[in-house]
Every structure is written in C-alpha cells, then in structure tokens.
Amino acid sequence: MMHQMAVPEFMFLTVKCNPPVVRVPLSLTPILTGVGNITVSLQDDFFMAEAGSDLQIVVIDNQGGLYPIAQLEGHDDSEITGVAFSPDGKRLYFSSQRGTTGLSKNGVSYEIQGF
C-alpha cells in the first residue's frame, strides 16, 4: 500500500515497474547511511544507493548538491542493488533485492525514465 505525503507535486517521483507505475514520495532529507552501490551519470553526477536504512537513491551532483531522487517504502527487509544507467543515460535501473516480503525470490527491478 502506498502512503502519500502532503507535499507539492514536484516532490513525487513516478517509477515505471511491473506491476504498473508507482508514485514514490521523496524524503526531504537525504540520510546516506549504508551506501552499497554507486554509479555515475553522463553528466558526472554520482548516484548512491543505500544498502539498508532509508532505501534511498541519493545524487551528489557535479556542483556538490546532495538530494534524494527515490525512496522505497515497505521493503524493510531488502536493500537497493544494481544501480545502473542505460547506455544513452536516459533511464536509471535498480532493484529491491528482496522486495516487500524479504525473500530473495521476490526481488523487484525498477526503471526511472527522463534523465
């Protein structure tokens, strides 16, 4: 079940996945504890995925800005893995290693478009 926070529309990220589109509320404060994966965009921004805790993908942009772009909810016994860009840099892929059940057979992969 998705819980929506009372924040402006621009504070939501639409994630395309299977099952269909999910709207993910973004935390206003990136935590960056337990970083497990790092990838770099074509614009030289660093995308860091947390292996535990808040399950966020946080960007450190090439100007030194720090901000979250996605946060999984309801995946308490999982971690974000496999953060990677498509060759053209327009799509970001990542997985919830154990999904919402905490079992590895129920891992879920996501695609974020529009970079």
Tens of pLDDT, residues 52-85: 678 888 888 777 788 888 888 888 888 888 899 9
Full DSSP string of the chain: -PPPPS--GGGEEEEEESSS-EEEEPPSS----SEEEEEE-TTS-EEEEESSTT-EEEEE-TTS-EEEEEE--S-TT--EEEEEE-TTSSEEEEEETTTTTT-GGG-EEEEEE--
Give the model's pLDDT for residue 84.
93
d(CA 31, CA 47): 13
Higher pLDDT, 112 or 14: 112
pLDDT by residue (tens digit) across 25-44? 555 555 667 788 889 899 88
pLDDT confidence tier of residue 5, bands split at 50, 70 and 90: very low
**pTM, 2 dp:** 0.69
What integer pLDDT is reported at residue 88 of this predicted model? Answer: 93
Percent of the chain with pLDDT over 70: 70
pLDDT tens by residue, 82-113: 899 999 999 999 988 888 888 889 899 999 88
**Residue 93 dihedral angles phi and psi, to the nearest 5°:** -115, 145
